[in-house]
Amino acid sequence: MTNITLARSYLEKATKRMKILPVLLDEQAYSDVIREAQEIVELALKGMLRAIGIEPPKQHDVGYLLVEFKDRFPEEVQGEVERIAGISKWLRKEREFAFYGDIDFIPTEEYTIADARKAINGAGLVVKMASKVI
């Protein structure tokens, strides 16, 4: 399997997972939207890195690597790299709380429709940019 084959697989998985986000939003499962969006963004970013020949590390937020290798992406994508990295960083920060919560943070009570829409919009942008790279 080549890097580009695996990159395409990641993009395919991310694209298919995007379809579940409106269902979760309709169910008012806002914390689940956050968690799924994070996984979508992670797959898309790792696919982008593989497409330019970078082996992504085994960590959830690789946005900083897009910034580091910004010049390897198409010009249209370069203009969005910092924004994409910010989306990845935000979703990574929310990842565990959205799934597990904490004694003083109940995920089903803490996240709002605005949070969920922000996550959906961010994931959509990332997948769109990934499709331009892969």
- Fill in the DSSP letter of residue 100: T
User: How confident is the model over 95-120, as pLDDT tens digits?
Assistant: 999 989 999 999 999 999 999 999 99
Contact 119, 34 (CB under 8 A): yes
Instruction: Return the residue matching tokens 């082996």.
Output: 55
pLDDT exceeds cutoff 90 at 1: no
pLDDT exceeds cutoff 90 at 19: yes
Spelled out in words, what is the top-level CATH class assigned to the domain 3-133? mainly alpha
φ and ψ at residue 73, rounded to 5 degrees: -95, 160
* Residues linked to residue 102 through DSSP beta bridges, in sequence order: 105
User: How confident is the model over 49-103, as pLDDT tens digits?
Assistant: 999 999 999 999 999 999 999 999 999 999 999 999 999 999 999 999 998 999 9
Q: Output b/e per residue, 104-122; b: 16+ Cβ within 10 A.
A: eeebeebbeeebbebbbeb
Give the pTM: 0.95
Ranges of each domain in the chain: 3-133
